[in-house]
Amino acid sequence: MLELRDITGGYGPAQVLCGTDLRAEAGQVTALIGRNGVGKTTLLRGLMGLLPDLAGEITLSGETLLGLPTHRIARAGIGYVPEGRQIFPELTVMENLAVGQRRPSRNWPEERLFALLPNLRERRANAGRALSGGEQQMLAIARALVTDPRVLLLDEPSQGLAPMVVQELARVLRQLAGEGVAVLLVEQNLRLTEAVADRILIMARGRIVHDDTAAAFRAAEDDLRHRWLTM
Amino acid sequence: MDPLTLFTLQTLNALSLSALLFFISLGLTLIFGIMRVVNFAHGALFMLGAYVGVATQTASGSFLLSLIAAPLAAAVLGLAFERCALSRLYAREHSAFLLVTFGLALALTEAIRLIWGADARQAELPDSLSGIVFVMDEPFPIYRLLLIGAGLACALLCWAGLQRTRLGLLLRAASQNPTMTAALGNDVGRVRAAVFAMACALAALGGALAAPLLSASLGLGSNVIIDAFVIVMIGGMGSFLGTAAGSLLVGFAQTFGNYYAPELALGMTYALMIAVLVVRPGGLFGRVE
Ligand SMILES: Nc1ncnc2c1ncn2[C@@H]1O[C@H](COP(=O)(O)OP(=O)(O)O)[C@@H](O)[C@H]1O
Ligand SMILES: [Mg+2]
């Protein structure tokens, strides 16, 4: 589905990504983990066309995305749930959703969306800034879904959420994968990652250093943690 | 004249001035909201509207046509300017943007001088609009009442446009977070271009409406942009309601100031701005960022 090959780039002279390869398959949750500052957010931003000079190859079902402007990448079928949620604070929940709806959503009409994310239903007329962190996270996901994405990128969605809400998040991500969406999940929360991921990738110094099934990750977890994840 | 009648007439005068000021400051604030920069050319576009209005009326004899030609000309010019120059500058320093819009203001002023000469030109109101009505037994120009109505209609239409149309939604979204607006599939560059063109059209419409009162002259642009800056600062950069409130405050301060304390009138506008900013640094409806 989504394929990245030999991605390099960063911020000006500071190279953050140094030959990253990654695939995300339809119907699977692909998790990307790694220490703070290794370049996970940078990779997602680059994927969305938000970094000025990125080199390599990015394709979605064979269609080249690299070099397209951000709005074209989104229209090609990439949904983006960014770090820190980035809700429009002065827009209502419904208006936040409308920003992503150039036309009515095919896969996520209102009833279906609110069935998946029931907490948003009674908050529909509230401003984005009035929502709790968990509600904002669900809104960020809903807002990406109404663009009918084939791939959903999430950047640390569990950050700052209560354990109950993280469980809810896990349910939502599994359901989305079940619907055939390719979910690419960047996380620091290993419990969430292990609960939902089909594959787990580890990033270090701008490269993927481990790429295997969730079961293989669990089998080698102590060693992998020690080498790539603890400070 | 008894004090109440005087007060009523001055209130109507103030409202008509507020209406004119609203046309120019609304565009300025919308551009600031979505581009985070001040368009120094906005006063020149108001002035261009006045000149195009007068020229259209002279050529065609129709005042109504001048109210269509002026905003149309400014929208075309604004769109071309945004696409050819400004759109390349958003990613750069703000100073580049300021210099380019300042350059446009100078170029427009010189172009107007070349085309229409240095003398002031006044629009002639058609008979139907140049009459008077009696307000509390005192004569009052119909045209000023019309300006109040035009300002009110503009405010309502723009408010509805912001709240009810897709372009209005995208303008509000992009003012808050342009990156996310684009990441949800929207071409923010086109939104900026449309907003810029419309803001230019609004300023020019204000200029054409002002032409029968203020006359078109080369200093018009720089005079009016200072008031517009003050209004936008008072109301809060990027705020629609703030701009409406700021236009009213400045319109009233100038009208009543001119009458009761003419030597202080200019200072009054600034005193008002300073007073508001001391109490609310982001302006009446603004946020400090
Ligand atoms: N806007 C920026 N400008 C310059 N350097 C940045 C910027 N954002 C992040 N970085 C640097 O890029 C590196 C990778 O950051 P990031 O992608 O945010 O890491 P992660 O998401 O994996 O924690 C870090 O060293 C960080 O300091
Ligand atoms: Mg990050």
In angstroms, the separation between the Cα of residue B122 and the nearest Cα of chain A is 44
Comparing alpha-carbon positions, the chain B residue that sits nearest to A50 is B179
Q: Is residue B264 part of a domain?
A: no
- Which region holds residue B147: left if phi is over 0, alpha if psi is between -120 and 50, else beta? alpha
Q: Is residue B243 part of a domain?
A: no
Which numbered ligand comes closest to the C-alpha of A202? 1
**pLDDT one-digit tens code per residue, B193-215:** 999 999 999 999 999 999 998 88
Distance CA(B246)–CA(B208), nearest Å, equals 22
Find the B191 Cα to ligand 1 centroid distance in Å. Answer: 29
Q: How many CB atoms lie within 10 A of CB A78?
A: 28
Letter for the amino acid at A73?
A: I
Q: Is residue B212 part of a domain?
A: yes
State the virtual CA torsion across B86, B87, B93, B99 in degrees, nearest 10: -10
Q: Is the CB of A45 under 6 A from ligand 1?
A: no
Pick from A89, A90, A147: CB nearest B184: A147
pLDDT of residue B259: 87
State the virtual CA torsion across A216, A217, A223, A226 in degrees, nearest 10: 170
Q: Do A50 and B177 touch (CB under 8 A)?
A: no
Residues on chain A touching B186 (C-beta within 8 angstroms):
71, 99, 102
Q: How many CB atoms lie within 10 A of CB A128?
A: 24
Question: What value does the mean pLDDT take over residues B183-189?
Answer: 97
**pLDDT one-digit tens code per residue, B214-259:** 888 888 888 899 999 999 999 998 899 999 999 999 999 999 998 8
Q: Is the CB of A39 under 6 A from ligand 1?
A: yes
Q: How confident is the model at residue B289 (pLDDT cuts 50, 70, 90)?
A: low
Return the higher-pLDDT residue of B279 and B287.
Answer: B279
**pLDDT one-digit tens code per residue, B71-81:** 999 999 999 99
pLDDT of residue B288: 59
Question: What value does the mean pLDDT take over residues B30-42?
Answer: 90
Q: Do B169 and A95 touch (CB under 8 A)?
A: yes
Cβ-based contacts under 8 A for chains A and B? 59
Find the A36 Cα to ligand 2 centroid distance in Å. Answer: 7
**pLDDT one-digit tens code per residue, A195-224:** 999 999 999 988 999 899 988 888 877 888
pLDDT of residue A33: 95
Q: Is residue B198 part of a domain?
A: yes
Give, using CA atoms, the residue closest to atom 13 of ligand 1: A37
Pick from B173, B176, B186: CB nearest A71: B186
Would you list which residues of chain A are within 8 Å, Cβ to Cβ, of chain B?
48, 50, 69-71, 74-75, 80, 82, 86, 88-91, 95, 98-100, 102, 143-144, 147
Give the class (CATH, top level) of A2-229: alpha beta
> Is it the case that residue B174 has pLDDT exceeding 80?
yes
Q: Is residue B118 part of a domain?
A: yes
* Intervals of chain A under pLDDT 70: 231
Residue numbers of the domain that contains B123: 15-217
Q: Is the CB of A8 under 6 A from ligand 1?
A: no
SS3 content of chain B, % helix, strand, coil (to 5): 80, 5, 20
Pick from B169, B179, B187: CB nearest A99: B169
Structure token digits, residue B126:
């058609």
Q: Is the CB of A11 under 6 A from ligand 1?
A: yes
Q: Sign of torsion, CA B162 B165 B171 B174?
A: positive
Q: Is residue B165 part of a domain?
A: yes
pLDDT of residue B214: 86
In angstroms, the separation between the Cα of residue A187 and the nearest Cα of chain B is 20
Q: Is residue B125 part of a domain?
A: yes
Residues on chain A touching B188 (C-beta within 8 angstroms):
71
Give, using CA atoms, the residue closest to atom 18 of ligand 1: A41
The percent of residues above 90 in pLDDT, for chain B, comes to 75
Contact B35, B174 (CB under 8 A): no
Contact B140, B9 (CB under 8 A): yes
Q: Is the CB of A40 under 6 A from ligand 1?
A: yes
For chain A, the domains span 2-229
Q: Residue A4, SS3? A: strand
Q: How many domains does chain B have?
A: 1
Q: How confident is the model at residue B121 (pLDDT cuts 50, 70, 90)?
A: confident
Mean pLDDT estimate for chain B: 92
